[in-house]
Amino acid sequence: MRVMRYEELFRLEGRVAVIVGAGSGIGAASAKGLAAFGAHAVCADINLDGARATVAEIAAGGQAGEAVHVDLTDPASVTGLIEGVRSRHPSLDVLVTTPSINIRKPLVRYTDEEFDRIVGVNLKGTFRLLRGAGTVMAQQGRGSIIVISSIRAQSVEPGQGIYAATKAAQVQMARALAAEVGPQGVRVNVIAPGVVDTPLVNPIKMHPEWYQAYAARSILNRWGMADELAGPVVFLASDASSFVTGAVLFVDGGWTAVDGRFTPPL
């Protein structure tokens, strides 16, 4: 008979977690959260100084981490990240992928170059990571992959057409991978954040009315903070979610539950 030790469900000791985009925002919060629960955090980012700063914070808390450079637009760089982890560590247990870019403009004004740039990072870069980590985890017979998508995978607005398309594609790609590697003991899930205060949204913060309008769209009447994504990431990385795969977890303050809401005079 299996004995469940509930107090250990979220513990990650002995596990190696690769967090891509760990130099700032949700990636940095994810890395610190995973490390706090015992994982060895491999903090990867195109901004190596940012990744090193995250590792310094992790080390200050007495946890283990390392910083590495990765460029998702370079296949060799992604391959080097995965192979490097395999060479230095006994396993690759968790992958969290967060990087995305956005260009806000009407669809008819996009250039081919802008389209390729967004798809190259958000979709093709994510694909390269899923392919590499999925292969390793399937071979070792265990692992958890977590893709940070967006509410824009479900709910779009003017100026977000290409970004939203890549976010919806991330969801379907993750679901397909979940079905393909699930029999080998690998879980693949998606987190869809709402509006979260990260460097990606700096253009919105420059417009107070726009910023407040987004806050009002959530049930909680505020923006999310990057640290509020650490809990969902730890949950999906740990044994607490051992029967969760192919799922999309919305962490959006209720935005998608009441999208387009109007509060009537009740």
User: Is it the case that residue 266 has pLDDT exceeding 70?
Assistant: no
pLDDT digits (tens, 9 = 90+) for 149-208: 999 999 998 999 999 999 999 999 999 999 999 999 999 999 999 999 887 777 888 888
Q: What pLDDT, in 10s, does the model give residues 64-96?
A: 999 999 999 999 999 999 999 999 999 999 999
Q: Which domain holds residue 19?
A: 11-252
Report if residue 5 sits inside a domain. no
Rounded to an integer, what is the distance from CA 200 to the centroid of its chain?
A: 14
Could you tell me if residue 88 is inside a domain? yes
Name residue, tokens 């009740």.
266
- Whether 265 maps to a domain, the answer reads no
Q: Is residue 146 part of a domain?
A: yes
pLDDT of residue 90: 96
From the list 91, 108, 106, the residue with the least C-alpha distance to 18 is: 91
| 3-state SS class at 190 | strand
**Is 163 designated active site?**
yes
Per-residue pLDDT for 5 more than 90?
no
- This prediction's pTM: 0.95
Does 2 map to a domain?
A: no
The total of structural domains in the chain comes to 1
Residue 258 lies in a domain: no
Residue 3: pLDDT band with limits 50, 70, 90: confident
* Count of other CB atoms within 10 angstroms of residue 14: 11
Q: For residue 194, give both structure tokens.
A: 């709402």
Residue 2's pLDDT band (cuts 50, 70, 90): low
221 in Cβ contact with 215 (< 8 Å): yes
Residue 232, pLDDT above cutoff 80: yes
Tokens 């060799």, residue?
76
Q: Which amino acid is at 1?
A: M
Could you count the other beta carbons within 10 Å of the beta carbon of residue 124?
16
In a domain, 110, yes or no: yes
Does 257 map to a domain? no
What number of CA atoms fall less than 13 Å from residue 7's CA on the CB side? 0
- The CATH number of the domain holding residue 218 is 3.40.50.720
Greatest CA separation for the chain: 63
Q: Which of the following is catalytic: 6, 163, 211, 214?
A: 163
pLDDT at 199: 75
